[in-house]
Chains A and B, each alone.
Chain A
């Protein structure tokens, strides 16, 4: 019963390096999300994919790109990492189709702690 799986769990990058965070879900969810969590700021949405084949910017998209590879997988890429991107990154997924009376909550992965030096 994996749910949402993120890799890697930890990463240290030098400024200017690139990397891709991987996320996969096995719940047949339509929608997937990438959030970042910084101290005192809650979770902020970077990008989301409402359904396979679509992606849209969230609240803080600058410096990131995403790919919805298929229904299961949604990756986040940092092309040129900056110290301001030091954060904990969470991938999440949800059914994506709202229905009254139905719990349609988002399920979260375990997070990736990224440090950019």
Chain B
């Protein structure tokens, strides 16, 4: 059974801190790993990772994938209160449709 585990489940930090969110997976025939940010409503897409060791970056957010050790990390530097959200990791197995297997999510709270 395909499985995605995120850690920590909850994290509270002060504005300006750097955070690292973790995602490990067990998936038969891996295709890609995706990170989403969920504030009040719909998850919004952050990154898609398919290759090991290649960092994807968008502003203060960056992510990298290790296909040998089966994990990914999402880094957020110089955090702001607007970064407070649930961060979801999902893995796409190599199947016909792009079904996603989600982790439980990490609830990140940034205090001013």
Contact surface of A with B, Cβ cutoff 8 Å = 4, 31, 33, 35, 40-45, 48-50, 56, 58, 90, 94-96, 98, 100, 103-111
Q: How far is the CA of A48 from the CA of B102 in the complex (A)?
A: 15
Contact pick for A104, options B4, B96, B98, B102, CB 8 Å? B98
Given contacts A40-B9, A43-B102, A90-B42, contact A103 B48 (CB under 8 A): yes
A-B contact pairs, 15 of them (CB 8 A): A31-B97, A31-B98, A33-B100, A40-B9, A42-B88, A43-B88, A43-B90, A43-B100, A43-B102, A45-B99, A45-B101, A98-B98, A106-B98, A108-B43, A110-B42
Interface positions, chain B 56-112, Cβ under 8 Å from A, are: 88, 90, 96-105
Given contacts A109-B42, A111-B41, contact A96 B98 (CB under 8 A): yes
Q: How far is the CB of A24 from chain B (nearest CB, A)?
A: 14
Instruction: Please count the residue pairs between chain A and chain B whose beta carbons lie under 8 angstroms apart in the complex.
Output: 63
Known contacts A4-B42, A33-B99; 20 further A-B pairs (Cβ under 8 A): A42-B104, A42-B105, A43-B43, A43-B90, A45-B99, A45-B100, A48-B97, A50-B96, A90-B43, A95-B98, A96-B98, A98-B98, A100-B50, A104-B32, A106-B34, A106-B98, A108-B42, A108-B43, A110-B41, A111-B41
How many chain-B residues does the 8 Å CB contact rule pick out?
A: 26
* Residues in B neighbouring A100, C-beta threshold 8 A: 50
Contact B103–A42 (Cβ < 8 Å): yes
* Residues in B neighbouring A50, C-beta threshold 8 A: 96-97
* Residues in A neighbouring B90, C-beta threshold 8 A: 43
Contact A106–B48 (Cβ < 8 Å): no
B14 contacts A by Cβ under 8 Å: no
Nearest neighbor of B104 in chain A, beta-carbon distance: A42
* Residues in A neighbouring B48, C-beta threshold 8 A: 103-105
Contact B103–A96 (Cβ < 8 Å): no
Nearest neighbor of B1 in chain A, beta-carbon distance: A59
Q: How far is the CA of A104 from the CA of B97 in the complex (A)?
A: 11
